[in-house]
Amino acid sequence: MKWSVVLLAGLFCAKLMAATAQPASPESLLIPKPRSEYDINHQYYTSLLNKALHKAAAGRTVPALKTTFAMEQGRALRELAKGESLDVFWVGTDVAKEQEFRAIRIPLERGLMGFRKFILTKDAVASFQTIRSLQQLQQRTACQGAFWPDVEIMRSAGLKVEEAPVYENIFKQLRAGRCDYFPRGLHEGVIELERRQALYPDLVRYNKLMLHYPFAVYFFTRKENEALALWIEQGLEQMIDDGELLLHMQQQELTRHVFPLQHQSTDPWISIQNPLLSPDTPVTNSRYWFQPEDFKTSAN
């Protein structure tokens, strides 16, 4: 009788330890290479991923981030689904992606990607100064990347869009007149042009108009990789609690120049809907998302 009680107690303790133990850490996580030598977005997201993993490691060995090869969004999502060349990918979210993959539903730049200013040719600046409404903007053609969620978002608002399968070719299309403007996240356009100044000296950022729609970049894993997704999610939540996510934005080359946000305020401001966003996305929750009011000064 005594031995049976000891045996049962031992089995109970073993099960309890197994239930509470952290899952084994992978040695490495596969991520894509930068899309080009100018791609500083890659540094922003990979360093954030690494910080989140360290933040919630809880004694686990943090896996190394191992780059495989450069991929545009469509290819990257196919590779993530196969699980052979990608373990984690960061991409603009939509309902379809959240159904197919495990989304870590924390905006990696607090929704900043949805606040858009335009890259134009210098010759187009004067004509854009007359644009004050969505109806006027609908007369122009935007350049966007193929498979980007923005394409469908903009078309749903009646905006014309020309797609390019390769990110770097979008700048060439704009310069060649195949489109009129290239909408970029508030943090993207300045750095993109600085890095390509020698290639496209005739392209400029237009600061007098803002196009806004709720939009977020999330980390995604395969649904089968729930333990990894929870690890990343917990790390990001802890970074928000400690103010480290905002600090990351304020320090990174990609995003630091947009602060304080009040300096980015502009008029006119054109807002459109994002029909691809999951209905339960908490876009008004200021814990995760910047709000339009964050861009306004008291004088506005």
Whole-number pLDDT of residue 107: 98
Nearby residues of 261 by Cβ (< 8 Å), 6 or more positions away? 290, 294, 295
Q: Is 196 helix (H, G, I), strand (E, B) or coil?
A: coil
Distance set, CA 1 to CA 9, 14, 178 (Å): 12, 20, 84
pLDDT in tens, 274-288: 999 999 999 999 999
Ranges of the chain whose pLDDT falls below 70: 1-25, 297-300
Q: In terms of Cα–Cα distance, which of 212, 182, 233, 208 is closest to 290?
A: 212
* Distance (Å, whole) CA 125 – CA 192: 18
Whole-number pLDDT of residue 39: 85
Whole-number pLDDT of residue 13: 45
Residue entry with tokens 């459109």: 272
Whole-number pLDDT of residue 201: 96
Give the side-chain half-sphere CA count within 13 A for 23.
Answer: 10
274 DSSP β-pair partners = none
Whole-number pLDDT of residue 19: 40
What pTM does this model have? 0.85
Give the distance, in angstroms, between the CA of residue 105 and the centroid of all CA atoms in the same chain. Answer: 11
